[in-house]
Chain A
Amino acid sequence: MDYFLELLLGGLTRGSIYALIALGYTMVYGIIELINFAHGEIYMIGAFTALIVASVLTMNGMTGISVLILASVVAVLYSAAYGFTVEKIAYKPLRQAPRLSPLISAIGMSIFLQNYVLLAQTSDYLPFPNLIPVLPFMEPYSQLMGSTELVIVLTTTVVTVILTLFIKFTKIGKAMRATAQDRSMAMLTGVNVNRVISNTFIIGSALAAIGGVLIASHVGRINFYIGFIAGIKAFTAAVLGGIGSIPGAVLGGLVLGWTESFATGYVSSDYEDVFAFCLLVLILIFRPAGLLGRSTAQKV
């Protein structure tokens, strides 16, 4: 039973990590039906920014929670700026182009950002300090779940709730939903579609940066390539849950995390990915739109 519980909690952490990145994929897809392959790279840039800021602050004698907060804030701002710029440079000029063009542009952006960080920083792995302080009340349970893992799970939960409420009740959220439903109609009713899309990228990138700080704290090392690997898994999670749906991304992440964790625990980690992708195939056979995705009629 203990073993089961441990695997369950391990899967929960892993699933929350996937979910945190998957949220960005799903938001962008929901609005402009684009798979933003550069999202993983924004996450990586967030982690790098946090590392640089945290190193500078620690060198100047700052410690504890203030480092985490300051590093996160800078990483969020910096990544959001990157997300905004990427959209302006690589996707906006292609708004009227066939759907494949922005997709190719996204892949190009992903490769560009990876190599940019490779050249500007380093190809080596860098140690990432654990910015999340040890919570004393978690100590008795550290065998099962550490403070970092708890913070990751809680953050994913809070972010999902806030995001859902934001989209449901705020004015920007309403504009987002309108744009997602029918872009030209939204434009006719006076919604500034370009600004809505920019906002979506900014929010998605900010989430990626939060994910970058937390996940890098958990893993303990970063390099220019982490965005690609995490991005692939998060993208799988988003598709699994139904791309375009926010609760779907979280559910997809968790299902993927648990599948991997239990497959490793009870079968073999050799087949971890095999199980994860078999599950994806099965779900897509029976629910082509994903677990919580709504199958919409193709616009003709």
Chain B
Amino acid sequence: MKYSTFRTALLTFSGAALLMAVLSGSLFAADTIKLGVAGAHSGDLASYGLPTVKAAELVVKEINAKGGILGRQVELLVDDDVCKPEVATNTATKLVSQKVDVVIGHICSGATKAALGIYKDAKVIAISPSATNPDLTQSGQYPNFYRTIASDDTQALLEVNFAIDKLKVKKIAVLHDKGDYGKGLAEYAKKFIEESKKATVVLFEGITPGAVDYSAVVQKIKRSGAEAVIFGGYHPEASSIVSQMRKKDMKIHFISDDGVKDDTFIKVAQKYAEGVYATGPKDTSKNPLAIAAIEAHKKAYGADPGAFFLNGYAAAQAILAAIQKAGSTDYAAVGKALQTEFVETPLGKIKFDKRGDAIGVGFSMYQVRKGVYVEVK
């Protein structure tokens, strides 16, 4: 008897609490703009997701201090997807049921893909700071998707265009390390070279990472008559291959990716690194907005920001600026504003193309000169 009284009381209480939560939620909905932030906030990839949460907090704090957007305050709804597609669908459903206006996220490409369909049906725009899978924008399936990071294939395209237009090579050897990242990049490079019709792929091979010796593959490059090598992979293999090429007096160009644009590469390959080209994210260290954003992070959290912080910062700024310009949170109007209006962000002046990729964000070509990577203009 006593037990059931207790249970009734508990039920009544929780019912009341629930009602209050619903009421307060609906009260707020009238006058705040709800900005969802979804991504990996726990688990082993949390370090990729948390900086974006902090970036969104900083941007929103600044905007709210100035009176918000369209006279409304911005409210953050932060939700974790642990970088797993199956969790991301739940996260997305939850955010949609909480009636978010726009979402910043998700962080990982797989999770983003899983969540996008749900946002699309609910007519919610999602803007990711870090999902680089080319399909997300190129498939045309997700008109509600935007991102403030360049997709994987832009690096390959930059490498190929650089080789063909700047270095004027006709024969290119494409190598990769058989990994997801390196092989994906190499396959794009091959596709772009073939499509350009201005050069030919004379060799396309995967090498074994960590092998003691790459002389056979180097001989093969030599025999193929390649004038340039495009390598998709990381710096340990790149330094071995470059060293062996140079030791065999092969002076052909070596072009690689941001897995090689790492100072360890120069440290290990030493004099043989000289002249090697590698693509890497555009230099933002001199952008005053980037400097200010990093300073704000240091002041608020007492540490340097983590991965994709500036991309997250730019995403939050871009989406809120678009709402401001559109004059509402209407799906079509915000989408149009994202595609037509330039926004000043820490990544530079950006807007988005029809597919959702940011224009003005991307990679630059760097070359090792006198032991440091220098941007090639």
Contact = CB atoms under 8 A, between A and B. Distances in A.
B239 A220 contact: yes
A13 B243 contact: no
A13 B213 contact: yes
Contacts of B206: 268-270
A265 B216 CA distance: 6
A87 interface: no
26 contacts: A3-B223, A6-B219, A13-B213, A14-B213, A17-B213, A125-B236, A125-B264, A126-B268, A127-B268, A127-B269, A127-B270, A142-B247, A142-B249, A218-B213, A220-B239, A220-B243, A226-B210, A264-B217, A268-B206, A269-B216, A269-B220, A270-B178, A270-B205, A270-B206, A272-B207, A272-B211
Interface in B266-282: 267-270
A261 interface: yes
Contacts of B223: 3
A229 B220 contact: no
B208 interface: yes
Contact of A219 (B178, B217, B219, B240): B240
B207 A14 contact: no
User: Which of A124, A233, A264 counts the most chain B CB atoms within 10 A?
Assistant: A264
Interface in B140-155: none
Given A17-B212, A221-B239, A233-B212, 9 more contacts: A3-B223, A7-B219, A13-B215, A125-B239, A126-B268, A220-B239, A229-B211, A264-B217, A269-B216
A242 interface: no
B363 to A, nearest CB: 24
Interface string A86-107: 0000000000000000000000
Interface string A214-244: 0100111100011001100100000000000
A261 B215 contact: yes
Contact of A221 (B217, B240, B249): B240
A233 B208 CA distance: 12
B236 A221 contact: yes
Interface residues of A, number: 36
B248 interface: yes
Contacts of B235: 125
A269 B267 CA distance: 27
Interface string B229-264: 000000110011001000111000000000000001
Interface string A2-31: 010011001101100110000000000000
Contacts of A124: 264
Given A142-B247, A143-B249, A219-B240, A269 B208 contact: yes
A11 B208 CA distance: 15
Interface in B177-231: 178, 205-208, 210-213, 215-217, 219-220, 223
Contacts of B211: 229, 272
B162 to A, nearest CB: 25
Given A127-B270, A270-B206, A264 B213 contact: no
Nearest to A272: B208
Contacts of A127: 267-270
Given A260-B216, A265-B216, A220 B240 contact: yes
A229 B210 contact: yes
A6 B178 CA distance: 25
Nearest to A146: B247
A264 B269 CA distance: 23
Interface in A123-151: 124-127, 142-143, 146
B216 A10 contact: yes
A74 B138 CA distance: 58
A33 interface: no
A229 B236 CA distance: 14
B268 A269 contact: no
A49 B70 CA distance: 66
A7 B212 contact: no
A196 B103 CA distance: 70
Contact of A10 (B215, B236, B239, B270): B215
Nearest to B265: A125
User: Which of A143, A215, A225 counts the most chain B CB atoms within 10 A?
Assistant: A143
Interface in A240-284: 260-262, 264-265, 268-270, 272-273
A11 B216 contact: yes
Contacts of A233: 212
A230 B210 CA distance: 9
A194 B151 CA distance: 62
B205 A269 contact: yes
Contacts of A10: 213, 215-216, 219
A14 B249 contact: no
A11 B236 CA distance: 21
A261 B244 CA distance: 15
Contacts of A7: 216, 219
Contacts of B219: 3, 6-7, 10, 265
User: Which of B178, B215, B240 counts the most chain A CB atoms within 10 A?
Assistant: B215
A215 B220 CA distance: 22
A56 B207 CA distance: 35
The 5 closest A-B pairs by CB, nearest first: A10-B215, A264-B216, A270-B206, A261-B216, A229-B210
Contacts of A230: 212
Contacts of B205: 268-270
Contacts of A225: 210
Contacts of A221: 236, 239-240, 268
Nearest to A15: B213
A273 B247 contact: no
